[in-house]
Every structure is written in structure tokens, then in C-alpha cells.
Amino acid sequence: MCEREVNALHNACERAVEWADLIELRLDCLESTPENLTEILQNFSVPVILTFRPSEQGGHRKLSREERLKFWNNVAPRGEQIWWDVEGDLAHELSPDWSRVIVCHHDFNGVPDDLNDIYKRLAVTPAKVIKIAVQAHDITDCIPVLQLLDLDDREVIPIAMGNAGVATRVLGPSRGAFLTYGSLDDESTTAPGQLTARNLRSLYNLDKIDRDTIVCGLIGLPVMHSVSPQIHNDWFAAEGLNGVYLPFEVKDLDEFLRRMVHPRTRELSWNLRGLSVTAPHKQTVMKYLDWLNPAAQEIGAVNTIAIKRDRLLGFNTDATGFINPLLRKSSLWNSRRAAIIGAGGAARAAVWALQKLNIVTTIFARDLDKAQPLATTFGVNCEPLASASFRDYDLVVNTTPLGSGTHIDQSPVTCEQLNGVSCAYDLIYNPADTRFLREARKAGCDTIGGLEMLVAQARIQFELWTGRRPG
């Protein structure tokens, strides 16, 4: 808990006990250290971890070495319900009850080359628990962090901070980590990449994960906005399967597939069963796979990987997911002309699927040079987006990221351009109501949001990974 005032800290703790077994009190967040700290802690119903961290190690106050030593030696309460989280540079100058001490090291720059040496220096202390938290810049930074759990029989808290390190926070306890950290809400995180305690327990089912848990996930950049974890984790629970679905922020696809995914070369022992693939990896990933199904080969993009024995199998479930919502729209049964905005992996699936229905399709793009290879592959026309009018088209599909993330207030086209169109289809699902869809409604179009496609294609993915088709 990181609050500026004691009263706010106590109120936050009362809310946290619903989800937490221990509560960390970030005393460095307080404007000043209360004199009656022992009395305050007597009112807590769960054990607490006291932290008094200087700003250079991730704290919220500038604290000199002398101030920190004075706090731990003269001010910090002791007791059966109280843990101390102490930086390694102070450990040899303290005389606490070592059975309730976490000795820690933080590196907000990255994973240091001497990570194991840092561990050994902390292990020299008699502290009960060793905590090492380092910044992850890519998913493979999780490997050396999780491998700290295999060094000896000491209690360890290994954390890879940042979005790329989420896997260490969710999977750590199942691999022997002493604990993991979660925030009270999205606004009160105390470290990069920290998930809420509620999500750790209710979304990722942290308490049920073990070494046998089926692990699946979404690879892309970015991925934290995705609602796929909610969809797949709900299905795991509904089907009574021991599984978890995680977001994997992947920059270096080659390193990730080699070191973490492929059964013949991966450096982690985990029950990884399958992956969803999103931008920017849908096309690049194909060259790393051992087999492609015909649809994926024809489309030229993969959005699903299934791991079978020692092989990586590639599929494209986007095309079927894309078509299903369209088939439920009676107004589109007679559609014969469609416009696709964009030229990425999702666009490839959409063009392929529409051609299977004998719908004449045209690609519209801002950069015709980048879009022309796709148009040539499928034998369709390619037109500039800026000057486009869609009056003669029955269906217009947005496959670009405009409308989400940092582009949330943008639309690839205007209301005027969409006049006369029967249906506008946005493949973006977060947010559910995009500016593109609002522009389309102003133009009198019927609309379809991306969540319908996401769920339809995810259902096929789940079956490929588990053998079960969720309801």
C-alpha cells in the first residue's frame, strides 16, 4: 500500500484484506513516519510487510542511509505479524528477527549480467527470504528471474517488473516463489507491471496454478489491453480445466520462440500448450513453425499456435471468426462489394474469407506501396484511403489499429466517406465503441464491433489447445 497519509493507508488495508494474505505497507510513501506505528499495526487483521525504501531503489522519498538505519534499528515495530523488507546494503548492520526479514535488491534499468552473484551476496545474510526485482524489457528476461528459484532451497521472491514480466508475477508462486505482489487497484501500483490482487486471484486463479497447469497466452506488442485473458480464463474455469491464459509482451520473436516456446530448445520447464498471435507477429511467426494448416498458408498469416509433442503448429482462426458475425446479419446476405481498410495480418484473413463468399473486395490503405503485395497476392484492387468514398460498397471493414490504444480518438475514415454503406465492421474490440463505429452510425450504417469476432475465433483456439469447445 502506498498512501501519503496514515488514515488513507489504514482504509486501503481494510479493503485489501479481501484479496491479500499479507499487506505491504510502503512507509516511504507517507509524508512522515508516524510515531505511533506500533499502535497502528495492532489494528491489522493480517500480517504486514514494512518497507522503507529510498528513491534510488524505487522508493518515494529521498532517504539517507542514516535515516534508514535509524528507522530499522530504533523505530520499526517487531512482532509475529510483522515482516521487514530491507535493502541488501543495510542487512549487515541490523539485528532483527531474521525469521521475518525479506532482504531485497531492485534494478529498474534491466536484468544485470551478475544476477546470480547478486543472489549469492543476499544469500549470505540470515534473512528468511531473498527478493530480487529487476526490470524486464522483453519476455525472455523472465527466464533468468524464474531460474533463481532453482539455485538452492532458500525462500525467494523473483520479480521481473514491467509488462514483459507479468508471467513471473502469476507463475512464480507455482514454481516455489515465497509470494507475489498485487496492487489494490490499477491506480495504486507500486512497481511497473504490477497486477491487481483481485485479478491475480479472480482472473488468473493464482491459488489454483501448479506445475501441471496448462499455460496459454497472447503474444504481441502491445498486449496488456487485450480482453483475451478474461475470455480464456473464464472458459478454463467453466470447463473445469487446470489452465491459465497470460499476456506475453514479445519484442524479439526469435528469442522468445527458441528460448521459451519450442519444446526442443526452451529453457523453462512449463506446460505451455498454445499461443494466440497478434500484431506485429502474425506474418513473421510463420517461418518458425513446423506445420501450417491450409487456411493459414493461403491467408499468409497465423494467429494461433498449438504445441503438440515437439512441434509448433500454425493456424488461422481469424477468418472464421471474422465471417461468423457477418453471417448473422441478414442485411448482408446480398452484399457483393466490400472495402478493407488496412493491409496487415487481420486484413489478409478478412480478404481471404470474403473471397470464399464470392464477395468482390478492394483494399484501401494510406501506404499503397505496403498494401500492394497483399492486393497482388489475392488478386484484388488497391486504392488510396485519403480520397476514398465508400458509397458503392455494401461493407466497410477497419483492420487498422486506429481507434484503440494511443490512437483511441482516431478513425481511418469520416462519416461523409461512409454515406451509403450498408454495414461498417470494426475489428477493434477495446474499446467496444470506437470512433469508426460512431462515424458509421452517423452515416446510417449498420455496425459490428470487434468483440464478436474475437470471441468467435477464440472459441476455435481454445478447442485446438484443449480438445474442448467452450459453450
* DSSP calls for 240-301: T--EEEEEEE-S-HHHHIIIII-TTT-SS---EEEEEE-TTSTTGGGGG-SEE-HHHHHHT-
Cα–Cα distance, 413 to 249 (Å, whole number): 30
Q: Name the strands in the sheet holding 101-107, side by side, starting at the edge strand that comes first in the sequence.
A: 23-26, 48-51, 82-87, 101-107, 129-135, 155-161
Q: Are strands 272-277 and 360-365 parallel, antiparallel or unpaired?
A: unpaired
Longest dimension (CA), the chain: 80
Catalytic residue among 70, 208, 251, 282: 282
Burial status of residue 471 (CB atoms within 10 A of its CB: 0-12, 13-18, 19 or more): exposed
Query: Grid coordinates in use for 177?
Result: 516463489
State the pLDDT at residue 211: 95
- CB atoms closer than 10 angstroms to residue 380: 17
- Gap between the Cα atoms of 53 and 188, Å rounded: 17
Annotated catalytic residue 282: yes
pLDDT for the residue 335: 62
- Each of the 471 residues of the chain gets a pLDDT tens digit; together they read 677 777 777 788 778 888 889 999 999 988 877 777 877 777 778 899 999 999 988 888 899 999 999 999 999 999 999 999 999 999 999 988 999 999 999 999 999 999 999 999 999 999 999 999 999 999 999 999 999 999 999 999 999 999 999 999 999 999 999 999 999 888 778 888 899 999 999 999 999 999 999 999 999 999 999 999 999 999 999 999 999 999 999 999 999 999 999 999 999 999 999 999 999 999 999 999 999 999 999 999 999 999 999 999 999 999 999 999 988 875 555 668 999 999 999 999 999 999 998 999 999 999 999 999 999 999 999 999 988 999 999 999 999 999 998 899 999 999 999 999 999 999 999 999 999 999 999 999 999 999 999 999 999 999 999 999 997
For the chain, domain boundaries: 6-209, 215-317+455-466, 320-450
Domain 6-209 CATH (choose: 3.30.70.240, 3.50.50.60, 3.20.20.70, 3.40.50.800): 3.20.20.70
CATH match for 215-317+455-466 among 3.40.50.1100, 3.10.20.600, 3.40.50.10860, 3.40.50.720: 3.40.50.10860
- H-only helix segments in 124-240: 142-147, 166-171, 197-198, 228-238
Place of cell 549480467: 113
Query: Could you tell me which residues come within 8 angstroms of residue 231 by beta carbon, excluding any fewer than 6 positions away?
Result: 454, 455, 458
Q: What is the pLDDT of residue 378?
A: 97
- How do beta strands 446-448 and 423-426 pair? parallel
Which residue do the cell numbers 501441471 mark? 212
- Which residues are CB-contacts of 114 (< 8 A; sequence separation ≥ 6)? none
CATH for 320-450 is 3.40.50.720
Rounded to whole angstroms, the Cα distance separating 72 from 104 reads: 15
E strand or H helix that includes residue 24 = strand 23-26
Contact assessment for residue 142 and residue 136, using Cβ atoms and an 8 Å cutoff: yes
The structure's pTM equals 0.92
Same fold for the domain at 215-317+455-466 and the one at 320-450? yes
